[in-house]
Structure 1
Amino acid sequence: MSKMLEQLFSLYGKVALITGGGRGIGQETALMLSQAGAKVAVLDRDESAAKDAVDAIVSAGGEAVVLVADVSKPEQIKQAFATALDRFGRLDILVNNAALVRRIPALETSIDVWREVMDVNLNAAFFCSCAAAEPMTAAGGGAIVNIASIMGISGGGIYPIASYHASKGGLVNLTRGLAVEWASRGIRVNAVAPTWVRTEFTKALLDDPEMSKTLLDLMPLRKFADTIDVAAAVLYLASPAAKVVTGHVLAVDGGYLAR
């Protein structure tokens, strides 16, 4: 690889924090950002999963720390970010990945379920971003990457999931709003909108032959994404290669949204 390409995607000297970093997209992203040179704080409410991700990073020669927190609790977010700053002294990259889905028809969605989904998928991204803003500003700028969804840009219609649609749609426009508001701070804010990704999160859907065919028929490339596909998009948006990209939602969707 040429020096120019190394410089474009290098994260050496940077510190990244990934929410929901213990599994799936979050874990893959933590590993990839570490391989690009970043020190990584892996935040997850499941301590065992976070430790597994950190162990994998350390085994590969990287540096990482476990943060245990429930991102639906703003006070736990503050404490986790304080711990990361105590350990690494700075914060340059935040990946808001933690997510929750409840496949329930709208008229059967209780107030508690609605609030639960909003707290994890939307409110947590806002509070984590606010917790990151000052240390990023102090470091001369930074990059926030939100993991949105194609369901935040389309109406779906395959199964009932209104709370998820609303939370991810809110995350898409939160991305744009913060990108404009924080540009003067040197903070870029972007999002990735994945299609169905092969994780534990979607296993039941993708293992169903009939549903799998239905979903593939909606994507011109007729391919589900792997976690590495999403992590690669995050790396781009977090790296110097995207230094003039902000307020953008990058679809990793096999052409779903192009139809």
Structure 2
Amino acid sequence: MFDLTNQIAVVTGASGGLGRQFALALARQGATIAILARRKEKMVQVAQEIQALGVECLPITCDVTKLAEVEKAAEMVIEKYGKVDILINNAGGGANAPLAEMTDEMWQHTIDIDLTAVFRCTKIFGQHMLKANYGRIINISSIMGMVGSSQLSVSGYQAAKAGVLNFTRAAAAEWAKSGITVNALCPGFFPSETINEAYLKTLEPIIISNTPMERAGRTGELDTAILFLAAKESSYVTGIVLPVDGGWTAI
């Protein structure tokens, strides 16, 4: 079960953090991986890690906020492999500030990378999935797209990630008869490049007070969720929002 041999998977924002973890999880199940990111040197390092598992990896330098670069990346994947089976829309980030201090530029940058890029990659890679009548698209949102927060000032990020959720539902419904599933994964707080060990420590009181398990997520605890949504066997699962958050959104 969940054997991804002969599957072509594209992971955006895979030069580090959760994107790297997702790419490695798919590769361990046999998928051939194309990783998209802006940081070429770090991306090449991730590609070498994947190749060490005995599967092929194609690193592509790509800024997902730029249409031409996404189109070129899709062309490269199709030219090399002839198809794309799995798309993980992981690239994200943005600028955060208290609402009263957020500039239009900060807001727009966050929307561009966290929401518009998801639409763009889904559309462009999805066009090839439509031709093949098959695809698994997983949009990485966040628990911050499901709830507000009185302790964190991230309204732009929350708005964008919430948009990802309803875009996921809309795309899932529109493509439901096309052999393509579209689902959203909502991680809680996990160690990554953005949330490094020092930052995670400062967030610990917030995490403990808001999470029934009273801890952050651990490396590897997202793997089973991503593999479930990427698998052929999950053919009747579409339009769902799956939190992996230690119970944060349950209370």
Q: TM-score range by the shorter chain?
A: over 0.9
Aligned twin of 2:133: 140
Which residue, out of 138, 155, 163, partners 2:156? 163
Q: Is the deviation greater in 83-92 or in 161-170?
A: 83-92
Aligned twin of 1:195: 188
Aligned twin of 1:253: 245
Which residue, out of 217, 224, 227, partners 1:225? 217
C-alpha separation in 2, matches of 1:147 and 1:54: 21
Matched, 1:37 2:34: no
C-alpha separation in 2, matches of 1:249 and 1:124: 19
Which residue, out of 198, 201, 207, partners 2:201? 207
Aligned twin of 1:238: 230
Structure 2 counterpart SS, 1:229? coil
Q: What is the identity, as a one-letter code, of the residue corresponding to 2:116? A: N
Structure 2 counterpart SS, 1:228? coil
Q: What is the identity, as a one-letter code, of the residue corresponding to 1:22? A: S
Structure 2 counterpart SS, 1:98? coil
Aligned twin of 1:130: 123
- Structure 2 unaligned blocks of 5 or more: none
Which residue, out of 11, 21, 36, partners 1:18? 11
Q: What percent identity do the matched residue pairs reach?
A: 34
Aligned twin of 1:5: none
Which residue, out of 38, 47, 58, partners 1:54? 47
Deviation, 1:112, is 1.1
Verify the 8 A CA contact 1:143 1:238 in the aligned structure 2. yes
Aligned twin of 1:3: none
Aligned twin of 2:90: 97
C-alpha separation in 2, matches of 1:94 and 1:186: 14
C-alpha separation in 2, matches of 1:38 and 1:76: 23
Deviation, 1:16, is 0.4
Cα deviations across residues 46-66 of structure 1 (Å, max 9, x unaligned)?
Answer: 111211111001111111100
Q: What is the identity, as a one-letter code, of the residue corresponding to 2:230? A: A
Structure 2 counterpart SS, 1:67? strand
Aligned residues: 250
Aligned twin of 1:177: 170
- Structure 1 unaligned blocks of 5 or more: 1-7
Structure 1 counterpart SS, 2:87? strand
- Per the normalisation by structure 2, the TM-score is 0.96
The RMSD of aligned alpha carbons is 1.1
Counterparts of 1:44-83 in structure 2 under 5 Å?
Answer: 44-83=37-76
Deviation, 1:254, is 0.2
C-alpha separation in 2, matches of 1:201 and 1:131: 27
